Chains A and B, each alone.
Chain A
Amino acid sequence: MLSRFVAFTSLGRTALPNLYDLFAFALIFAIFALIAHASHGVTLPLAAPEATSVSLDYGALPYYALRTALRMFAAIAASLLFTFVYATLAAKSRRAALLLVPLLDVLQSVPILGFLSFTVTFFLGLFPGSTLGAECAAIFAIFTSQAWNMAFSFYQSLRSVPRDLTEAARSLGLSSWQKFWQLETPFAMPGLIWNMMMSMSGGWFFVVASEAITVGDTSIKLPGIGSYLALAIEEKRVDAVLAAILTMLVVIVIYDQLLFRPLVAFSARFRVELSAGEVQEKSFAGQLFARTRWLRAALRPIGQLLHAVSLRRMELPIRSSGRKPASLALSRTVDALWLAVIGAGAAWAVLQIASYMRQELSMADFWQSVLYTLITMARVAVLMTFATLVWVPAGIWIGLRPRLAEKVQPFAQFLAAFPANVIFPVAVAVILRFSLNPDIWLSFLIVFGTQWYILFNVIAGASAFPNDLKEAAAAFRISGLDWWVNVILPGIFPYYVTGALTASGGSWNAAIVAEYVKWGSDTVSAHGIGAYISQATEAGDYPRIVLGVAVMSAFVIIFNRVLWRPLYELAETRLRLD
């Protein structure tokens, strides 16, 4: 069920041209290099305003939780807006898609936390002396963790609207605007909502990470759980750390009950399969709302207004329906021109990066960052394997017991949403206490928050494993290793890949935070590209941040292309059970 919603680059012979990825990659980093370059002069020390002071008083926690949650919702609103504009443009214009889709594909693979330093300096420069800049930077950081997969999901849905529905809409005379709201958006809804929920689950991690940040001389603490936690760490207050963890737990429970479940239940309505077969998702809050009278009555006018707007024709006077397609030769020429423009832009971008880097860095820096990235990659690979070995059997065991699965599943989803970085200081305290080797023990933090994606996807897969296949396996007395290799593992494979893909992406991001952790004045740091980026960020060393993030992104993209995409294709083509 889950794999259907995963936003992943299209497969098969129509897969994306890889050359464009390179262009996109170059463009993104050129922009960041430029911003970094330009903001050199802007990073004046910001006199800490009263508004950003944080206290460790427990009583302030609800307020901080609210601020954190608000930031989250501001970001999700921005992500939705971005999704509707970007994905629609990419889906409707073939030429725009040539640029936008590879760009999105790269953005999806870039570890967002590495950019925090750029965005903070950029937004602070935009609103000098005001906390608005810092707020925007935090919201932007969350936004960058949420927007890409939502946009990708929406784009893919827009491209795969069933042909008969499109024809029905056209023959009913729906205008483009009406078609968008009456057909395309509802069709994309289940995928979009699912990705939005996954994004928000992942987003808590970034809220916590982006509220308190130090870039060079600039140190910012926005009122929120993340800053509260950062302060608690600085002052080595174990009780305050625990209070922050507890608050986070409460916030996520509320979010899960009031938002996640109702929305997922709501999105079931937009499924296109014309059968009532699937299990109904239930939601306590959704049912509650369905039973309210006043609230629904109060919301009805809003619904009617939106409905009325969606039914306006909104036609551009120029675009008459009887437009004949332009001649093939002309269209080809424009294509070639457009590609030339993109190519020139990319070439310019590569030059920009190269010249910027050459001023500040030597080849030795480059090789060092490659080495560190290899270390981090080894860490991610080893720990993903480790998490797989633990959670795949556990997930299968749970998933094959429906009643247990029903109880464990929400818990696993909840754990996946819980920001693991809140737990990090506890781990650091333990490492310091027993003088453990950080290169080994910090590694576990990388998968601490992301392993749950594997667990709950495997549970979902094992739960969905067809009963007749189970019975067939039993009837032929397939057991032991044979059963694992030939029956259950191929059966859950598509689900596993979905979960592992998410977990792997999350782990790379987590590495930036997890390889360099503080407890009061003590710093525990492992060797790796994450620590490299974190240190460069703290020192305000922009060239090294750019270098570190660029090398890391390149590795993530290669990792995804070489490992995950083939696995995903295998899962899609060979091992689907439906």
Chain B
Amino acid sequence: MQTLNARTPLLATKPLLEMRGISQRYQTGAGEPGPAVLENISLDLRENEIVGLLGRSGCGKSSLLRIAAGLISPSAGEVHYLGKPVLGPADGIAMVFQSFALFPWLTVLGNVELGLRAKQVPKEEARRRALKAIDLIGLDGYESAFPKELSGGMRQRVGFARALVVQPNLLLMDEPFSALDVLTAETLRTDLLDLWVEGRMPIKSILMVTHNIEEAVLMCDRIVVLAGSPAKIGAEISITLRHPRNRLDREFQQLVDKIYALMTKRPEPAAAGREIAVAGLGMPLPRVSTNTIAGMIEEIAAEPYAGRADLPALAESLQMEVDELFPVAETLQLLRFADLEEGDIKLTPAGMRFAEADVDVRKRLFGEHLMAYLPLAARIKRVLDERPSHTARAVRFLEELEDYMSEDYAERTLKSVVNWGRYGELFAYDETSETFSLENPQ
């Protein structure tokens, strides 16, 4: 790691960025602070390190990154950059976005220059520096192209050039490679790592959000795993492997397995009985199609897994990313078709039965499990049963859900229940009138 010393230390003793006791709450539908997403998170970023934020989708890691960037302010806690409080986007912190977030009406050069021109850097100097950044990131020759003419990889390079041109000390990256195909992502990662290792970028530290465990192990010096709901720091792992790292290394593989295990660790059991019931109704549900659920159960039941699969291996064989895999696995766990432990997923007897059954039996089994283990589905069914008309407006349940979660999550949760309930033939739902009912259309 000798090469890293090329970067001159700013403040040898103080961290670059300090986050202290950060908490963040949802806004409920009524605009009031709802349940917490992040709770009491403290995190330091020192010079010469790449720190990865890992966690399941929706756990608040992107929120945490935006709090670090000064884009949103936390409900509680403080962020300090070089000892000064961060109250808005600060000079010296730049950001790279998952969706690139380029301005489509500006050329590559225009996009890269904008940050400098906004800060009133004289035109000639801005041009010179922008060209240098474009050169550094390998965009030479594309200066006058518009973003829509570029491939995804090239667009993200513009995103990097735009961030680097303002000569930030700290680079924040929000899943910067997840919108790219596998090969492009790998090229971009390697290029970025080369620049970093050789010290050719002005950056002193990188904080990146990712859902890709291998990516984190490949790039980061330290990985912070967010876990639980609300999310806390579940674990911190430092990685001392030398760059360039080899994915086939035993040590590399062990690290990946270890992090998988950490991320599938069972949450501590909740305290009181009533607590569970309420939390159950207010649990945000992922959008997982019943086909995916059935397909996953079949895959695990079949050889070579025969009912118990190692998650990294499963992800590999299904060519799924972690953030696609986890929601499915969690749903299986929620409906008691499978258990998650130590980075493994194991089908329950019900799950095995599901795998062997035909369509009608599967649907009945699925419906029974919904009623037994998904309080929201049971609640909808009970309301429909109790009412003489056997119908109920969706808004009624949506408003209930919004007491526990943001509007977006409430809508997504209800959509999932509608889908699963339809598959389990618990109830029918009419999209136009947004009404649940018991009858199926004739």
Contacts and interface: CB of A to CB of B under 8 A. Distances in A.
Interface string B109-123: 000001101111000
Contacts of A271: 104
B166 interface: yes
B71 A172 contact: no
A574 B432 contact: yes
Chain A CB within 10 Å, residue with most, of B89, B94, B120 = B89
A171 B69 contact: yes
Given A171-B94, A313-B120, A321-B87, A182 B432 contact: no
A291 B278 CA distance: 68
B99 to A, nearest CB: 5
Contacts of B115: 172-173
Contacts of B149: 276
A172 B104 contact: no
B211 interface: no
A271 B105 CA distance: 8
Nearest to B123: A308
Interface stretch (A121-129, A162-170, A416-424): A162-170
Contacts of A186: 103, 105
B interface residue count range (under 10 / 10 to 19 / 20 to 34 / 35 or more): 35 or more
B contacts with A: majority SS: loop
B431 to A, nearest CB: 8
Contacts of A270: 104-105
A134 B105 CA distance: 41
A168 B118 contact: no
B147 interface: yes
Nearest to B115: A172
Given A172-B166, A178-B118, A167 B105 contact: no
Interface in B388-439: 395, 431-432
B118 A164 contact: no
A333 interface: no
A183 interface: yes
A175 B95 contact: no
A493 to B, nearest CB: 14
Given A178-B118, A274-B147, A274-B155, A164 B99 contact: yes
B162 interface: yes
Contacts of B88: 170, 321-322
A275 interface: yes
A370 interface: no
Given A165-B101, A168-B101, A186-B105, A276 B95 contact: no
A324 B76 CA distance: 12
Nearest to A189: B105
Interface in A156-210: 162, 164-165, 167-168, 170-175, 178, 182-183, 186, 189
B148 A275 contact: yes
B118 A173 contact: yes
B91 interface: yes
A328 B25 CA distance: 15
Interface of A: 13, 162, 164-165, 167-168, 170-175, 178, 182-183, 186, 189, 269-276, 311, 313, 320-322, 324, 328, 570, 573-574
11 contacts: A164-B98, A167-B95, A168-B103, A171-B71, A173-B119, A269-B104, A269-B105, A270-B105, A276-B149, A322-B88, A324-B73
